[in-house]
Structure 1
Amino acid sequence: MKNILLTGSSRGIGAAIASALDLPEVMLIGHGTKSGIAADFSKADAPAALWQAALDQLGGTIDVLINNAGIFDDNPIDQDDAAWVANWERTMRVNLTASAELCRLAVRHWQQRGSGGRIVNIASRAAYRGDSPAHWHYAASKAGMVAMTKTIARGYARDGILAFAICPGFTMTGMAEDYLASRGGDKLLADIPLGRVAMPDEVATAARFLAIDAPPSMTGSVIDVNGASYVR
């Protein structure tokens, strides 16, 4: 049995990942107000509280952490200075710092158990390509997530602790639909050679593979799911 903690499981990619992990060999704890343990990642104590609640429900053992929770808010540079900084810091806390805290707790948990574990971080194409002028903070948070994933992979592979990241491009979730509409959807779609945005279940298929089946030698890998809109 694999005990898995998945953040941001209430909707979009997270809900699709939860569905993909609805397997006999998986015990899944979801984070989200609709689907599991509520935790507001803008609050400093939320990640640790979520981790402990998940441990309690899973009998003291977590084998896989999937960090999916995130926000995608506009932050135009021409707004008030204090507001811009506050928005930057909120996105960093929710998208990156909360994920980092959970990764740290997971690594320490596996070290104390003397067993391996897996981390799957849902980053973004923006980590490599950047994003719109109103989304510096979002791109930076996802780039940080990719760098963190690679660092964990390099630092703890000898302990059987594996780390992977997925970088979706536009995905048909509520956030992407709003953004596509605001940025002229047809023009953005023309930039995707596949001719459409990704579907949540496509990202979920990659997440399930990395969480359960990916060979250990893949640790540190970053998987792109973006219809060839950005290739590395």
Structure 2
Amino acid sequence: MNTSTTILVTGATRGIGAATVSALESAGAKVIGHGSRARDGVIGADLSDPQAPQALWEEALDRAGGRIDILVNNAGLFEASALDSSDIAWLDAWEETLRINLTAAAQLSRFAVRHWQERGSGGRLVHISSRAAYRGDSPAHWHYAAAKGGMVAMHKTIARAYASEGILSFAITPGFTDTSMAGDYLASRGGPGLLADIPLGRVATPDEIAAIAKFCALEAPPSMTGAVIDANGASYVR
């Protein structure tokens, strides 16, 4: 890795995102983090706002001195939406979840691809998707599964479209991971009882997912572009 490698990580203030920042920085990369609110050098941007991804990209590019080499799309929203909620509440939840989990990632990916094309430099995208992209999710999480499935399809399209320009794309599909985002869901689904569905006997740790993200960002050979890497304790084997 070039020691001047600059990486933008979304959703960088907790869980998988924070662990990924730590792993990348330990490898010598310069990391620009994003969170829903600005703090300690982290760029604040509410990705439910359609204008926020562009503002985030432009500020990150400015902080990076005009060059970003790698984008890690990690920011996500995981909130239940009951089937019998009101029509407007159900639709609002659907649209917010897709905007944060998929559309914002698509906007940032587009800015990154165009940036690399203009520079003629190549670059890498790492998308943190979910096991739900393939297996689906609970009855209250149609929107989440749909968003993560869309992210995988987007990733594969990018990989096929731009590999000849040195623009590479990788996706990671974790199962349950021990993060604050998943904690309430794990408890609501029975906590330890849920582990019976995971042959490994435990959920993943953020550091485990971060290690995969670091590999994709800095070490994976170019021939791996388009790959989707599962990390779910064998709870879903494709």
Query: TM-score surpassing 0.5?
Result: yes
Of 224, 227, 234, 1:221 maps to 227
Sort the Cα spacing of 1:24 and 1:125 in 2 relative to 1 into closer, same or farther, 3 A.
Answer: closer
**Matches of 2:220 and 2:76, distance apart in 1:** 24
Unaligned runs of 5+ in 1: none
Unaligned runs of 5+ in 2: none
Of 195, 210, 214, 2:216 maps to 210
TM-score, length basis structure 1: 0.98
How far residue 187 of structure 1 moved from its aligned partner, in angstroms, is: 2.2
Aligned to 1:149: 155
Aligned to 2:11: 8
- Number of corresponding residues: 232
User: Is the CA contact (8 Å cut-off) linking 2:129 and 2:172 kept in structure 1?
Assistant: yes
Of 55, 60, 68, 1:62 maps to 68
Of 22, 25, 45, 2:25 maps to 22
Show CA shifts across 1:194-227 (max 9, x none).
Answer: 0000000000000000000000000000001110
Of 128, 131, 136, 1:130 maps to 136
How far residue 25 of structure 1 moved from its aligned partner, in angstroms, is: 3.2
Residue type of the alignment partner of 1:122: I
Of 78, 88, 97, 2:84 maps to 78
For the aligned residues, what is the CA RMSD? 0.8
Aligned to 1:195: 201
Residue type of the alignment partner of 1:9: A
**Matches of 1:6 and 1:219, distance apart in 2:** 19
Deviation beyond 6 Å, 4+ runs, structure 1: none
How far residue 10 of structure 1 moved from its aligned partner, in angstroms, is: 0.4
**Matches of 1:25 and 1:189, distance apart in 2:** 36
User: Is the CA contact (8 Å cut-off) linking 2:78 and 2:182 kept in structure 1?
Assistant: no
**Matches of 1:187 and 1:100, distance apart in 2:** 36
SS in 2 for 1:145: helix
**Matches of 1:44 and 1:75, distance apart in 2:** 21
